[in-house]
Structures are given as C-alpha cells and as structure tokens.
Amino acid sequence: MTDRRNEQTEETMEEKMVTPLLDWYEMNARSLPWRDDPTPYHVWISEIMLQQTRVEAVKEYYARFTRELPDIAALAQVDEERLLKLWEGLGYYSRARNLKKAAVIVMEQYQGRLPRNKEELIKLPGIGAYTAGAVSSIAYGRKAAAVDGNVLRVMSRLTGSRENIAAEQVKKRLTERIEAIIPEAFPGAFNQALMDLGAMVCLPNGEPRCGECPLADLCTAFHQNIQNELPVKASKKPRRREEKTILVFETPQGFLVRKRPERGLLAGMWEFPALEGRQDEETVRRVIGESGWASDGMTVLGSAKHIFSHIEWEMQGIYARLSAPKEGQAAFMDCIPVTWERLEQEYSVPAAFDAYRETIRKMRQNSGK
C-alpha cells in the first residue's frame, strides 16, 4: 500500500490563507458605494480616486462625480474646467486628466467599454497594474492580482519578508505569488478581502490588530512578534521645501487669480498669485505699487502648509484690497479678476489654497457678504 501522505503536496502558506480570508470577508466586507454596483466604470473611478485619498473622503467625491458623469461617454465629453472642478480637493490632478484621456480612447477604440484584460487595461493613460487588476477582477471576474500598499504590507508580514516593498522586483514577485492562488470563482472577492484586511486589521504604523486577524495562525510576523518591524520600505528622498507668500488680492471686479502652466505641478489649475519666500508687508506694498495698482489696507492671513509627493509648500498669506489705478486696469502677475461666487463654483483651485479660501469665506460672512 502506498503512503498517501507522500502523494499529497504540502499546501503553501498562500494556499492556506484563501479560505479563512474569504470567510472573513463574507462577514466583514466594508460597505462602500462603488461596491453596490461594481460596473467597470465605477470600479475604475473609485480606484483612481482612492489612490492617495482616504475612503471616507472619497465617498462624497465619488457620488458627485458619478452623478454628473454617469458613464464613460459623459467622461469623454466633459469640459476640462468642469472636470478639474469635480476633482477639486482630491489633488494629483493629472489623475483626472488621464481619466478623460482614457475615456476618449475607450470610446474611439473599444466601443465605449473598458477592456477586460489587465494587459489591455494597462495600456490606457493613468491605469497602472493595481487599477488594471482591480477592474479586471472585481468588475469582470478575471483572475488578476491587485497589489497596492495595503496588500504588500499584509503579504510581507504574513511571509515575514524583510525585502523592500518599494522595489519593483519585490512587487512583481509578490504579484505573481498572489496571482497563483486567486480562486477562479471569486477573484474580485479575494482581492477586496486582502485590501480590506490591510485597511481594517493589518494596519500600518505598528498597529496591526492581530487578535482579530483570520490569518494569525499562518502569519510569520505574528509568530515571531516582528509585526511592527514590517514591512521594510526604503526611505525616500526628503521633500524639497519651498516658501511662498500667497497674495489674496481683492479688486472692485473680483479676486485676482491666474492659471498655472499646462505642464508640471498643479498644471492648468487656478491659483492666487504668490511671491517666492516669506515676504513682509513692505515688500508686498512695493510689488503692488510697481504693477500700477494701489492698496488700501493689508491683512496678514497667517501660515499654512501643503505637502505634495516631492515638495512641501510653507506658505504665509497676505490679503489686500486693491483699488484700480487712475489710468485704467493694469495687469498684475498675469491675473484676471474673478468674483468670489464664480471662483467657488466654476474655477478649479487646488487644495493647497484651502486655508486661505476658508479665511476669505469667514471674512465675507463676518462682513455680511
């Protein structure tokens, strides 16, 4: 008689995790608006919004965006100003522009339907391996991995790996290992289960809730008590600091704003003009005078900080009411005057200026405007 144990191959840790993970997901899946109706369009929009933004914050943006642009055809036709206004507050505006570019391609080359395969999806602007995997598995039920930071953290702890998860090779290897165990019948549920486990239980910054984890028995980091040392992520270059003096200038025709260049940081968005460095009131008064305007009254608005991926803005704001020069309207730093109401409703102003916009809102409320 043959020993049947020798014929059976030992299950790997990854294979063993599938069933407890799916069972846990069935009981604990987060209820999210885009999960109620997971069309390819809904999954795509939500996954792009969720990059760099918290789930709670995305819910409201997602509802507004999909209400106004309910399908790929509407997205392909939207005016860029309107698109950026809908994206206002989410940051990383190239994501919004890429959405529209991809929608145009989908309308022209794919009869208005997002491709099913990860390999085809990846060819579209703004769709990386993670988003392609999410759309392909969640919306189309294809066997494709969707590996984001949450999943990398869970996997590096489960396997006790000290490899740098920021390295492309490590990501690729992990993606292949996950792809090998995705269950045919539930690829979307499996990927979402891993994402949810990372977001709700295997939390970052030394706070994993191992006591609630369905995979604790299989987890190397838990058994070796090294959860808080993982994952290993190579330290990034420090951000470049830039100091700015933001000029919030009100003229009889409205607030002075200018359009940023079409390329680079916050491309094509509207902003208050600014001087480099921290400038005092005297310098600001001189700049106003040199441009041919006159100011009556100036208020220092205080400091604010905004963090981009590679740059950090340290800002201070100065509000001034400008009266037009006698000989007519002089241009000020390529700005145009826009009424406050239109600025709020129609112009896409980056979140970096939120602190100053909020101050102006309060000033206007106090003065009964």
Interface ranges with ligand SF4 (CB under 6 A): 154, 157-158, 201-202, 208-210, 213, 215-216, 219, 221-222, 227
| Token code pair at residue 358 | 């909020």
Least distance to ligand SF4, CB of residue 234, Å: 21
| Burial tier of 4 (Cβ tally within 10 Å: 0-12, 13-18, 19+) | exposed
Q: List 54's β-bridge partners, or say none.
A: none
Amino acid making up residue 72 = I
Q: Which is nearer to ligand SF4, 135 or 218 (CB)?
A: 218
Q: Which residues contact 294 (CB under 8 A, 6 or more apart)?
A: 288, 322, 323, 325
Least distance to ligand SF4, CB of residue 230, Å: 8
47 as an active site residue: the answer is yes
**CB–CB of 343/255 below 8 Å?**
yes
CA atoms of 179 and 147, how far apart (whole Å): 10
Q: Which residues contact 214 (CB under 8 A, 6 or more apart)?
A: 20, 21, 23, 24, 197
Least distance to ligand SF4, CB of residue 174, Å: 14
Q: Which is nearer to ligand SF4, 216 or 324 (CB)?
A: 216
Least distance to ligand SF4, CB of residue 145, Å: 17
Q: How far is CA 208 from the centre of its chain?
A: 23
Least distance to ligand SF4, CB of residue 351, Å: 32
Least distance to ligand SF4, CB of residue 68, Å: 39
CA atoms of 212 and 328, how far apart (whole Å): 70
H/E segment holding residue 140: none
Q: Which is nearer to ligand SF4, 136 or 227 (CB)?
A: 227
Q: Which is nearer to ligand SF4, 158 or 193 (CB)?
A: 158
From first CA to last CA, the distance across the chain in angstroms is 92
User: Beta 311-323 vs 294-307: how paired, if at all?
Assistant: antiparallel
**CB–CB of 286/275 below 8 Å?**
no
Q: Which is nearer to ligand SF4, 175 or 227 (CB)?
A: 227
Q: Which is nearer to ligand SF4, 20 or 273 (CB)?
A: 20
**CB–CB of 360/367 below 8 Å?**
no
Orientation of helix 168-181 relative to helix 13-28, angle to 10°: 80
Out of 14, 47, 242, 282, the active site residue is 47
Amino acid making up residue 148 = D
Active-site residue numbers? Answer: 47
